Amino acid sequence: MLKIFSLMILMGAFLFANIGTIMAMKGSASIDRSGRTLKAKSGMSILNGDEVITRNSSRVQVILKDNTTLTIGANSSFEFSKFYFDGSKKSSVRLKAKRGFFRAVTGKIAKIAPKRFKVKTVSATIGIRGTDFSGNIMDKREVIRCYSGAISVKLDKGGVKNLLAGMLIDITDKNVDIKSNLKSLPFEKVIDSDDIDDITPPKDINHRYEPSHNSEPYYYDQPYNY
């Protein structure tokens, strides 16, 4: 009985652990947490199992505790299925892109346990090798792009496609197309400082976000031109 009780405590600690923080946002977004709907705000903690849902013209940027940066575009649904980070090779990330646009710049887990970093989309699973990549999950179509490093895309219908920097994979019900030699898109500042609340990040997050006043931000949530 004591072992069961201890296990329940550990499971509860895992489920309700703070795994990251909303460092910046624009527009309206919500968090689905254990059946409850919460209004997303800058500085809000992200827990295991949280699903971030954005509205029209909304953007949310989340920094996880290993310094992975995730940008979620407008009209998107993105789930933080499982995150565990202790600095060892037991660390792992499981994310799920259900709808819309996301872009990820991987952090420490990608360096120490790259095989344990996975992003599930509607029709594939993305594995990484220290990288910057994005996905646009549309109705009956997905476009996954690698900006730096490399990713592997394991298709639900079978087969694995490896993408290097400057390559994308376009997945539909009928075709799987890979394109290369694309122009590099730098990871611009996602949200200008005028669009976010004044917050103090947790001490254990060495965040990447540095507002820029020199140029308009580019959000990377529009369909690709190619």
The token pair that represents 43 in the structure block: 């500085």
What pLDDT, in 10s, does the model give residues 25-59?
A: 999 999 999 999 999 999 999 999 999 999 999 99
Higher per-residue confidence, 138 vs 224? 138
d(CA 207, CA 225): 30
Asked whether the predicted pLDDT for residue 83 surpasses 50, the reply is yes
Which stretch of 7-11, 118-122, 123-127 has the lowest confidence by average pLDDT? 7-11
- Band of the pLDDT at 190, cuts 50, 70, 90? very low
d(CA 48, CA 184): 33
Query: Is there a domain that residue 157 lies in?
Result: yes
Counting every residue written for the chain, the total comes to 226
Asked whether the predicted pLDDT for residue 101 surpasses 80, the reply is yes
Query: Is there a domain that residue 224 lies in?
Result: no
CATH code of 126's domain: 2.60.120.1440
Torsion of Cα atoms, 106 then 16 then 97 then 216, to 10°: -60
Report how far Cα 35 is from the mean position of its chain's Cα atoms.
21
Query: Is there a domain that residue 226 lies in?
Result: no
Query: Is there a domain that residue 146 lies in?
Result: yes
Task: Pinpoint the alpha helices (H) of 95-182.
Answer: 108-112
Number of domains in the chain: 1
Query: Is there a domain that residue 212 lies in?
Result: no
Query: Is there a domain that residue 99 lies in?
Result: yes
Asked whether the predicted pLDDT for residue 9 surpasses 50, the reply is no
What pLDDT, in 10s, does the model give residues 130-162?
A: 789 999 999 999 999 999 999 999 999 999 999
Q: Is 13 helix (H, G, I), strand (E, B) or coil?
A: helix
Query: Is there a domain that residue 223 lies in?
Result: no
The domain of 94 spans 2-195
Helix (H) or strand (E) segment spanning residue 24:
strand 18-26
Token look-up 């309700």 returns 16
Query: Is there a domain that residue 210 lies in?
Result: no
